[in-house]
Amino acid sequence: MEGRIRSLPDAAAAAMALAVAIVFLFSAAAPLASAESVEHTFVVSQTKMTRLCKETLVTVVNGQLPGPTIEVTDGDSVTVHVVNRSPSNITIHWHGVKQFRNGWFDGVPMITQCPIMPNKNFTYRFNVVRQEGTLWWHAHVPGLRATLHGAFVIRPRHGAESYPFPKPHREVPVIIGDWWEKDLVEVAKNMTKNIFTAYASASTVNGLVGDLFNCSGVAKEGYVLDVEPGKTYLLRIINAGLFSEFYLKIAGHKFTVVAADANYVSPFTTDVIAIAPGETVDALLIADAPPGRYYMVALPNQAPLPDTQTPEYATRGMVQYKVSQGPCSGPTSVSSSRGTEEEGCRGPSSGDVPIVPEMPDIHDTVTSFYFHSNLTSLRHHARLPVQRRVDERMFIVLGLGTICKQGHKFCKRGNSNEDILVATMNNVSFQPPAVTSTPLLEAHYYHTGPCGKMQDLPKMPPKLFNFTDEALIPFGPKEMRLEPTYKATLVRRFQHGAIVEIVFQSTAMLQGDSNPMHLHGHDMVVLAQGLGNYDPVKDGARYNHVNPPVKNTVLVPNLGWIAVRFVANNPGVWFMHCHYEFHLSMGMAAVFIVEDGPTMDTSLPPPPANFPTCGHDIDLMPKISTSILRKVKPS
């Protein structure tokens, strides 16, 4: 392919489709790679790292930011020993891993397990089955996801030759995140108390703040991706940020998007990628520009006025061309997140002026809407037909509201000091179970505890109004009548095999944000999305039943809606929540319980042997030798 990546004409598209079909026919005939057991040890501890000319104490895994990349092949089993040497309770969530009939290791505190207390250990064990692509892992405790995270890469069992796109020269994780100088645990606690005064100090690419944050007068090194002319690179892009959707661009280059949330999509060409917290995007980058240096810029976006404006920081890394002086063929495995120089290659001279891309406006939310609208499922052998039958429909309205302090039933609303701002689903804010109680999955399995007494997540909001009326964003008499809400541990039960359709509606209630909604244990088919208020007649008629994208995290547009469908076929207790940390901490969440099916293979098995109860002294992992711990000792 000559020049930069362009949209394919019809003939070329047909040729590529034929090539893809041949690849799948060939791979189907190839023998399967034998499944392996992949084992890691994660030592969670606090260590000091220097960014912005300041030393900050951060909580990390194995002394790394981002944490270790887990690489597996479809069909492998995974064992991760977590040793908690931090002062905080910890759990690790394997974001997007299906965990079929294995919710015990989904990693949500008090939903699926007791948290791993300081100086305790826990071992996660799960299989990766019928999944390919980029996922990630992260802490599922308030705030600490910002520094406790890493890539989770699943390769096809037939090898890279079976990718439904040209085999890349190299695969590179690109993790966009935040740098916080504040105590993240304290930040999360404050958000539940109506205190919103702390913000990230910078944005990062693979843990580095980049040269926009030049605090010392000396140019700061950011993330550098070394490329060779004509080579193709698979960027495995992850948004690990707490608060912001990001736009990602590389000056002088275009991307071919090939997957999202570990599901292949019909390839399309774009010069900008929009990625919300929790989402992953796989994109091919061809090094087809003149040799030189090109900035890779990650820009957070936010809703425009009258929405509340908060500090948002762009960051940038660098794509740098190597000039070949000999063999420069690099490995096909995931590279170091910092990039490496390969022997026999050199980059451009330091005097070259890097090219800067033209970025969208920070308040441009339409670019995000169109990016996500471009996603369609790649029609290949692994694609499942869209279920036309619907057993249960839900219309879930997402917004903010207030509750009275100290449990009072009545109080002054509208930015008073008598109420607390909370996030809601259908006007109810999620109340997490107390750490002293029994995790909901255990209570569900043994039919004990509070599961049968918790409140159902309503299928509809209690009031219908103009959800996207921007007059509801500022405090005032119009929104005050809609503010009152309450907290409850929200649960929705589904019969095994039920086909569930949900329309998520973003609102203007005290904010105009988008909402990245993540469902644990399942993928969702995205039928349609739109701006404004959902119209069941007009919008339902344009559902995509042919090639809708499949996601585990869907972005509900700013002042818009999205319609999804999923099959409740994974028995257990699963968290559904917004992936903005402030919305999650404020209560935009619910629990979905999928009942057992009629057979052993469709039912939740008992907890593993010695699965600890809260406060139990037994560590669910073998004793780890001092030599192993020394290898992963934080630097």
- The pLDDT tens digits of the residues spanning 151-185 come to 999 999 999 999 999 999 999 999 999 999 999 99
- Is it the case that residue 282 has pLDDT exceeding 90? yes
Rounded to whole angstroms, what are the CA distances from 131 to 125, 156, 192, 553? Answer: 17, 8, 36, 15
| Residue 94 in this model has a pLDDT that exceeds 90 | yes
Query: What pLDDT, on the 0 to 100 scale, is given for residue 417?
Result: 86
Q: Is the pLDDT of residue 347 over 60?
A: no
At 263 the pLDDT is: 96
Q: Give me the mean pLDDT over the 541-564 stretch.
A: 96
Minimal CA–CA distance to 407: which of 516, 474, 473, 487? 487
Residue 81 has pLDDT above 60, yes or no: yes
User: What integer pLDDT is reported at residue 385 of this predicted model?
Assistant: 64
Contact 239, 298 (CB under 8 A): no
Over 60: is that where the pLDDT of 597 sits? yes
Using CA atoms, how far apart are residues 367 and 226, in angstroms rounded to an integer?
28
Between 203-217, 265-279, 443-457, 465-479, the lowest mean confidence (pLDDT) is in 443-457
Sheet strand arrangement including 490-494: 455-456, 490-494, 589-594, 572-578, 515-519, 553-556
The per-residue DSSP string of 151-205 comes to EEEEE-TT-GGGSSSPPPSEEEEEEEEEE--S-HHHHHHHHTTT------SEEEE
Q: Which amino acid is at 257?
A: V
pLDDT above 70 (res 242)? yes
Across the chain, mean pLDDT equals 87
Give residue 409's pLDDT: 84
Tens-digit pLDDT profile for residues 611-628: 887 865 445 444 554 444
State the pLDDT at residue 253. Answer: 98
Q: Is the pLDDT of residue 27 over 90?
A: no
Local confidence band at 14 (pLDDT 50, 70, 90 cut-offs): very low
**Cβ neighbours of residue 587 under 8 Å, at least 6 residues apart?**
422, 423, 424, 429, 430, 431, 487
CA 468 to chain centre: 26
CATH of segment(s) 163-323+356-379: 2.60.40.420
What is the number of H-type helices and E-type strands within the chain? 7, 35
Question: Is the pLDDT confidence value at 342 over 70?
Answer: no
Element (H, E) at 122: strand 121-127
Per-residue pLDDT at 231: 97
pLDDT above 70 coverage of the chain, percent: 85
User: Does the structure show a pLDDT above 70 at 256?
Assistant: yes
Among 3.40.50.300, 2.30.42.10, 2.60.40.420, 3.40.50.1980, name the CATH number for the domain at 392-602: 2.60.40.420
pLDDT of residue 4: 28
Strands, E, within 289-363: which ranges?
A: 293-301, 315-321, 323-324, 345-346
Of residues 280, 263, 283, the one with CA closest to residue 136: 280
Out of 3.40.1360.10, 2.60.40.420, 3.40.50.300, 3.40.190.120, select the CATH number for domain 33-156: 2.60.40.420
Residue 406 has pLDDT above 90, yes or no: no
Please give the pLDDT value at position 217. Answer: 65
Q: What is the C-alpha to C-alpha distance for residues 530 and 576, in angstroms, rounded to an integer?
A: 21
Nearest to 156 by CA among 232, 265, 71: 71
> CATH 2.60.40.420 region(s) of the chain?
33-156, 163-323+356-379, 392-602
Give the pair of three-digit tokens for residue 66: 């981002």
Residue 365's identity, in one-letter code, is T
Q: Which two tokens stand for residue 382?
A: 């692994």
